[in-house]
């Protein structure tokens, strides 16, 4: 799995992507921010079970979505403590560059709304529903 994580990490750095998923010869990439790429892969029923992921920022919401996708290894440029704890508790291998207490919002004046909505949650299915609800609220403004 380490080789896959390293390949995904290299593609993340060299390709200008926000997220990369790798397994064998199959690679998925995206340039959208936040949880949007993960939600799109879930919506498309993209089978990424057993894939390694490299992501610029992983908060607890993204961690829940990685669990729903079946990813088994995650590299994060930045990871929050709740995301790290959640992934480890579910047997996902985690590496990172920067560890933070929580993901900040894009304005830098509070926590990320996706991090906030998932902080009290423990169930990945319940978390996905909460993420989708919050996502819809944010995208209708």
Percent with pLDDT over 70 in the chain: 99
Task: Tokens for 20, please give them.
Answer: 């990369």
- Cα separation, 113 vs 75, whole angstroms: 22
Chain centroid to Cα 39, Å, comes to: 10
pLDDT of res. 135: 94
Q: What pLDDT was estimated at residue 2?
A: 85
Q: In what order do the strands lie in the sheet with 26-30?
A: 26-30, 19-23, 52-58, 73-80, 93-100
pLDDT tens sequence across 125-134: 999 999 999 9
pLDDT value of position 98? 98
**What is the enclosing helix (H) or strand (E) of 133?**
helix 124-138
For the entire predicted model, the pTM comes to 0.96
Query: Per-residue b/e over 112-133, b at no fewer than 16 CB within 10 Å?
Result: bbbbbbbeebeebeebbebbee
Q: What is the pLDDT of residue 1?
A: 67
Q: What is the pLDDT of residues 16-60, one digit of tens each?
A: 999 999 999 999 999 999 999 999 999 999 999 999 999 999 999
Whether 112 shows a pLDDT value over 90: the answer reads: yes
**Rounded to an integer, what distance in angstroms lies between the CA atom of residue 17 and that of residue 9?**
10
Average confidence score pLDDT of the chain: 95
Which band of pLDDT confidence, cut at 50, 70 and 90, is reported for residue 106? confident
137's tokens:
């609220």
């Amino acid at each position: 799995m380490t080789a896959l994580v390293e390949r995904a990490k290299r593609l993340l750095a060299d390709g200008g992507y926000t997220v990369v998923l790798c397994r064998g010869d199959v690679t998925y990439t995206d340039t959208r921010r936040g949880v949007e790429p993960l939600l799109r892969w879930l919506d498309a029923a993209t089978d990424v079970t057993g894939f390694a992921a490299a992501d610029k920022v992983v908060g607890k919401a993204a961690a829940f979505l990685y669990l729903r996708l079946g990813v088994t290894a995650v590299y994060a440029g930045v990871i929050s403590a709740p995301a790290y704890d959640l992934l480890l508790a579910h047997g996902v291998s985690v590496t990172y560059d920067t560890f933070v207490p929580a993901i900040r919002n894009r304005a830098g004046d509070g926590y990320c709304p996706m991090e906030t909505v998932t902080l009290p949650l423990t169930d990945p299915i319940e978390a996905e529903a909460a993420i989708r609800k919050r996502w819809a609220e944010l995208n209708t403004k």
